[in-house]
Amino acid sequence: MATTETQSLHRAIAILDCFRDFQPHLGVREIARQLELHPSTVGRMLATLTSLGILNQDKETHRYRMGSKVLKWSSVYMSNIDLRIEARSYLEELHRGTQETVHLDIPDGVSRICIDRIESPHRLRWVANIGERMPYYASASGKVMLAFMPLQQQKSIIKSTPMERLTPNTTTDPKVLLHELEVIKKNGYALSEGERVEGVSCVAAPIFEPAGKVIGGITISGPMTRFSEQKIKEYAKLLMRATRELSTSMGYHFQENN
């Protein structure tokens, strides 16, 4: 490929990268300013991308947005993503770094399902059963997924779920749970200490797909005796880094303040 063609391709991709969740509509001068290119150069590239259906231009504002072809590509990409395969290396890395049980859960209606796990080598350990359905409200994984769902969906699940007291530490008051979810969303991770199974602590962080929908959670679990306050902070940091990298690798773009 000629140098000029390579340069044009790089510029086209750079232009597309300017479109984010927080700036879905952009004008020629905005893009030119961000990329430090001449407006006429950007204008020609935008015209080409629009003619190919990659971008659309608003006839009134003359600003651009992603076109239908991007949605088509996204659908093809998403249909070929296997979260279990994509997440496996991250589970292995977390397992090596913590020597605790690490598992991957996904949301499924009004419950969550464990789809993969790596067990701790310790004799005293917690094991999550693959394929087991579990409630959202009484676990770190469930709460972290619930926290990042749209508010209407979140409240619908809570309303339709009988909040049974599974242990003395289980939250059974919907109002208390909603407050917990606000804190979890602010912190970026969830903690459970003996909420579903007595004596078991869990720390979890969310996984996002390109459109920003939460599609899973990774959890580090083990006996409460090994989960000191310092360890919990350490595990939370490791999890948030891993899930952020995983989400990014699958096409999700975090905003700068996330």
Pick from 161, 113, 156: nearest CA to 137: 161
Strands 133-134, 55-57: pairing kind: unpaired
Indicate whether 56 and 92 sit together in one domain. no
Indicate whether 115 and 18 sit together in one domain. no
Per residue in 98-139, pLDDT tens?
999 999 999 888 888 888 899 999 988 877 778 778 889 898
Q: What CATH number has the domain bearing residue 53?
A: 1.10.10.10
Indicate whether 110 and 11 sit together in one domain. no
DSSP 92-119: HHHHHHH-SEEEEEEEETTEEEEEEEE-
- Is pLDDT of 258 > 60? no
Is residue 59 in some structural domain?
yes
Indicate whether 22 and 118 sit together in one domain. no
Is residue 226 in some structural domain?
yes
Q: Is pTM, for the whole model, over 0.85? A: no
Indicate whether 166 and 244 sit together in one domain. yes
The residue range of the domain holding 13 is 3-78
Indicate whether 93 and 174 sit together in one domain. yes
For the chain, the domain total comes to 2
Query: What are the φ and ψ backbone dihedral angles of 122, each rounded to 5 degrees?
Result: -70, 150
- Is pLDDT of 82 > 70? yes
